[in-house]
Amino acid sequence: MIKGSAPGRISGLAGDSGPERVLIAASFVNRVGNGLFNAASALYFTLVVGLPAAHVGAALTIAGLTGLLAGIPGGQLADRHGARLIMTAALTVQALSMAALVLVESWAALTVVATADQIAAAAGGAAWGALVARVGGERPARFRAKLRTFVNLGVILGTAGAGTAVALDTRAAYVALILGNAASFALCAALLLLLPRYPVLPAPERRRRWLAFSDRPFLTFTALYGAMGLQYPVVSLLLPIWISEHTEAPRWTVAALFAVNSAFCVLLQTRIGSRVETLRDGGGAFRAAGLLFLLSCPMMALAAHTPVWAAVGLVVAAVFVHSLGEVWESSAGFALGFGLAPDHAQGQYQGVLGLGFSAGQALAPVILTTVVLGLGTAGWLLLAVFFAALGTAGPPLARWGARTRPGPDVTTEAEARTTS
């Protein structure tokens, strides 16, 4: 028998406090808009505006690389002036720059507008991390897991809406997607005004301004997390190419695997992520993710050597295992990324972590398409071992981090072991 009323269960899933529910709602709205835009933006600029695909790619690459430079200063501003203020300002800039995209008719204009958007996105992302740390309260892992659940759900709904526009294939439909994303940024900024004005946390008198750059355990984790982030394009980029070029599976399998990946992440994130709270938990979760990827990658490779009926089932099963690993990996990222950072410097630390992750995502396409696809089955096996090796570093990294922290997480872990 399931205890509790349906409204009570829904309220619990949506957050344990008013600020949590506000931030979850803001995240959901924003990600619906992102899903609307990201799934069809390239088609708009190439088919409607008429820019060559190479020009669009170059503009977005320049914008992305420039934006990387804004994350750490944005996080520092959030620590010194308040995360809500910086996040609201960044969202306002993104709303304006996104709306301006409907006026873009040249490569230069696209580059300028996209660069403004990416600078605001990077600065806002670091401030967002600091805001999440403040709102999380006594059960930060539980809140972050719920937040990611609604983020994933928002992307799914937004992507479904984008599919409708792509099917219509008209300028009006694509413009509606862009303006819808702009509206999502504006609404997200408005929702953040409902949050309390959290006071800026005082920093110790004797401290380095850029503390994160001298924190060796955190920098090590940033490098590991950025490298483990290669797992995200495995499903979105590598596997679709592998299916279409090396397996007998029908092409609709590509769409099905996206649905399977998204659905499992939504269903499992809160259940698993809410249990990953301490640094010790995060280290174990990171190792579990590596072991799951060690299993999923060979399954994907094996699909090229099986009959069509077996290839479909094998790919779906592999994506399920990979999705489970993704949930453990993101939970580890929350526990270690936030747990290693001092409260007064969360924005700065999240900026550094975001830079490391974004750098990994920028390198991922060339690594996956040249190394893995170039080596074929051997490439998949090499990738599996790579993920597993990264994962094994999780527990010792967590212990190293715990030894070098001032004490709160160490105390928490000791209490957890005593009560377990």
Which residue in the block uniquely carries the two structure tokens 């997480």? 409
- Of 136, 162, 192, the position where a domain reaches its end is 192
231 and 153, same structural domain? no
269 and 222, same structural domain? yes
160 and 72, same structural domain? yes
216 and 72, same structural domain? no
pLDDT of residue 4: 45
Whether residue 209 has pLDDT greater than 70: no
Selected residue with higher pLDDT from 406 and 124? 124
Q: Tell me, letter by letter, the H, E, C secondary structure of the chain.
A: CCCCCHHHHHHHHCCCCHHHHHHHHHHHHHHHHHHHHHCCHHHHHHHHCCCCHHHHHHHHHHHHHHHHHHHHHHHHHHHHHCHHHHHHHHHHHHHHHHHHHHHCCCHHHHHHHHHHHHHHHHHHHHHHHHHHHHHCCCCHHHHHHHHHHHHHHHHHHHHHHHHHHHHHCCHHHHHHHHHHHHHHHHHHHHHHCCCCCCCCCCCCCCCCCCHHHHCHHHHHHHHHHHHHCCHHHHHHHHHHHHHHHHCCCCCHHHHHHHHHHHHHHHHHHHHHHCCCCCHHHHHHHHHHHHHHHHHHHHHHHHHHHCCHHHHHHHHHHHHHHHHHHHHHHHHHHHHHHHHCCCHHHHHHHHHHHHHHHHHHHHHHHHHHHHHHHHHCHHHHHHHHHHHHHHHHCHHHHHHHHHHHCCCHHHHHHHHHHHHC
pLDDT of residue 91: 95
Determine the residue type at 407.
Answer: G
Is the separation of the CB atoms in 395 and 384 below 8 Å? no
144 and 30, same structural domain? yes
Whether residue 371 has pLDDT greater than 60: yes
Is the separation of the CB atoms in 301 and 311 below 8 Å? no
Q: Tell me, letter by letter, the H, E, C secondary structure of 194-224.
A: CCCCCCCCCCCCCCCCCHHHHCHHHHHHHHH
306 and 177, same structural domain? no
Count how many domains the chain has: 2
Q: Model confidence at 252, in pLDDT bands (50, 70, 90)?
A: low
112 and 81, same structural domain? yes
Question: For residue 4, is it within any domain?
Answer: no
Selected residue with higher pLDDT from 339 and 294? 294
Q: Tell me, letter by letter, the H, E, C secondary structure of 264-278.
A: HHHHHHHHHHCCCCC
- Find the CATH number of the domain harbouring 68: 1.20.1250.20
Per-residue pLDDT tens digits for 340-363: 988 888 888 888 998 888 888 888
Averaged pLDDT, 197-203: 77
Question: What is the distance between the alpha carbons of residues 151 and 224, in angstroms, rounded to a whole number?
Answer: 23
pLDDT of residue 405: 81
**Listed residue (297, 289, 399) closest to 340, CA to CA:** 399
Question: For residue 10, is it within any domain?
Answer: no
Q: CA separation (Å) from 81 to 73, 84, 202, 205, 271?
A: 12, 9, 11, 17, 35
Question: For residue 8, is it within any domain?
Answer: no
Q: Tell me, letter by letter, the H, E, C secondary structure of 108-161.
A: HHHHHHHHHHHHHHHHHHHHHHHHHHHHCCCCHHHHHHHHHHHHHHHHHHHHHH
Q: Rounded mean pLDDT of the chain?
A: 84
Averaged pLDDT, 6-18: 53
Its domain, for residue 92, covers 15-192
391 and 311, same structural domain? yes
pLDDT of residue 407: 55
- Of 192, 224, 239, the position where a domain reaches its end is 192
Whether residue 65 has pLDDT greater than 60: yes
Question: For residue 3, is it within any domain?
Answer: no
Per-residue pLDDT tens digits for 92-148: 999 999 999 989 888 899 999 999 998 998 888 888 888 888 887 666 777 888 888
Selected residue with higher pLDDT from 59 and 391? 391
pLDDT of residue 408: 47
Question: What is the distance between the alpha carbons of residues 167 and 407, in angstroms, rounded to a whole number?
Answer: 55
- Of 136, 157, 192, the position where a domain reaches its end is 192
199, burial (CB in 10 Å: exposed 0-12, middle 13-18, buried 19+): exposed
pLDDT of residue 415: 36
Distance, CA of 407 to chain centre: 28
384 and 317, same structural domain? yes
pLDDT of residue 205: 59
pLDDT of residue 115: 92
Question: For residue 204, is it within any domain?
Answer: no
Averaged pLDDT, 80-89: 89
Question: For residue 202, is it within any domain?
Answer: no
The least confident of 41-45, 274-278, 412-416 is 412-416
Is the separation of the CB atoms in 346 and 303 below 8 Å? no
Question: What is the distance between the alpha carbons of residues 262 and 285, in angstroms, rounded to a whole number?
Answer: 20
Question: What is the distance between the alpha carbons of residues 335 and 139, in angstroms, rounded to a whole number?
Answer: 11
The least confident of 24-28, 209-213, 324-328 is 209-213
The least confident of 62-71, 252-261, 396-405 is 252-261
100, burial (CB in 10 Å: exposed 0-12, middle 13-18, buried 19+): middle
220 and 157, same structural domain? no
Q: Model confidence at 251, in pLDDT bands (50, 70, 90)?
A: low
pLDDT of residue 298: 96
Whether residue 378 has pLDDT greater than 90: yes
Question: For residue 199, is it within any domain?
Answer: no
The least confident of 80-84, 162-166, 404-408 is 404-408
253 and 137, same structural domain? no
410 and 291, same structural domain? yes
Question: For residue 387, is it within any domain?
Answer: yes
Question: What is the distance between the alpha carbons of residues 241 and 374, in angstroms, rounded to a whole number?
Answer: 12
The least confident of 167-171, 243-247, 275-279, 405-409 is 405-409
Whether residue 258 has pLDDT greater than 80: no
